[in-house]
Amino acid sequence: MLKMLSWDAGPCGVLLAHCLVMAETSLANFTPQATSLDRYSKIARTLNFLKSHTHTAVQLTMSQTIDFDTEAARYLHNLLHTVLLEITPKKITAAWAERLPVIQDGHQHTADVIRVYEEEGEEWQMPADIDAEAARALLESNQCDDAPVILGSIIAALYGIRNVEVLTLRVYPRLYTLNPGDRLSPRRVHTVLRIGDKVLDLTAGQFGFKWLLGPEREYRDEFVVEGPPEVCIPLQEAWEDMPSRDGELNAVYNSLRIRLKREQDSWLRVNGETLRGVVMGEDEEKRRDLWEKLRVIAERVWQER
């Protein structure tokens, strides 16, 4: 018997931050269900998604101090979600949960696994009542290498390009998102950002990590498989030395990086704002207005590819 989940397909705009409700059901009796999609405006869908994740994002930040680095991390995290909803869209037609044994660091653990049936779609579609942690894992899955490219110029504007490094290492996942038949690997290669003595992990949710920004030593103690291979490069090399595979997508991501920064600079200039002021300010509507402008750019770049 497997612990299963059966959800109706629906737009990301109606994601609910509920706990996973698991029922004892045999795989043979599991029948994916589908419903017609309600049509939401793009901005409403995006903002509802962000709203469902706002509390989670706050909890992910290790430091509760209100400082620029922390607020910049939150800004980037919400922006990444906004952009990801417009690119490489997937339709999750069915999903269910499993708990499987895995050997990590010489000890047996029980891993949480989300199994999904997915296909390419015109826009992101997920089960209507999937919980926030599972939705974030699906959205961020396999995006850790792309995030420093897509948001690279904005990251550089926030932290200073010479203060950011791209660090690739191995981690022990707490959560896995797998297709049916995929085998569970105890270790996974993962890419994060090193900012001084801190680690910014914009896609930590794909592995179930409760982390956004915090001390590197704590991150290593909590999640990292110590020892080689590790690779650390300057932020700029993330887009200058992109691998030749997936050449079309890499060109899209580079174009997106340039146009997101250009649109952000234009918005700041027109509104008489500074990036620091937007990040540290209390005007949430102003941030949402900027995110919407950047969302439109992401949508346009994806459509033009």
What is the mean pLDDT of the segment spanning 129-135? 83
What is the mean pLDDT of the segment spanning 115-138? 86
Task: Evaluate if residue 209 carries a pLDDT over 90.
Answer: yes
CA atoms within 13 A on the CB side of 301: 27
Q: Which amino acid is at 6?
A: S
pLDDT of residue 64: 57
Task: Evaluate if residue 301 carries a pLDDT over 80.
Answer: yes
Return the number of other C-beta atoms located less than 10 Å from residue 133's C-beta: 19
What's the order of all strands across the beta sheet hosting 231-234? 213-215, 198-200, 188-195, 164-171, 231-234
Q: Which range (61-65, 123-127, 161-165) has the least confidence?
A: 61-65
Task: Evaluate if residue 107 carries a pLDDT over 80.
Answer: yes
Task: Give the pair of three-digit tokens for residue 195.
Answer: 């900012």
Across the chain, which distance is largest between two alpha carbons, in Å? 60
pLDDT of residue 65: 61
pLDDT of residue 132: 82
Task: Evaluate if residue 246 carries a pLDDT over 70.
Answer: no
List of residues 6+ apart from 137 with CB closer than 8 A: 114, 175, 177, 205, 206, 207, 208
Task: Evaluate if residue 28 carries a pLDDT over 70.
Answer: no
pLDDT top residue among 8 and 49: 49
Query: Average pLDDT of the chain?
Result: 80
Dihedrals φ, ψ of 100, to 5°? -125, 150
Burial class (CB in 10 A: 0-12, 13-18, 19+), 216: middle
Task: Evaluate if residue 183 carries a pLDDT over 70.
Answer: yes
In the block, which residue shows the tokens 């795989």?
Answer: 27
Question: Do the strands 2-4 and 23-25 form a parallel or antiparallel pair, or are they unpaired?
Answer: antiparallel
List of residues 6+ apart from 167 with CB closer than 8 A: 191, 192, 193, 194, 199, 230, 231, 232
What is the mean pLDDT of the segment spanning 283-294? 94
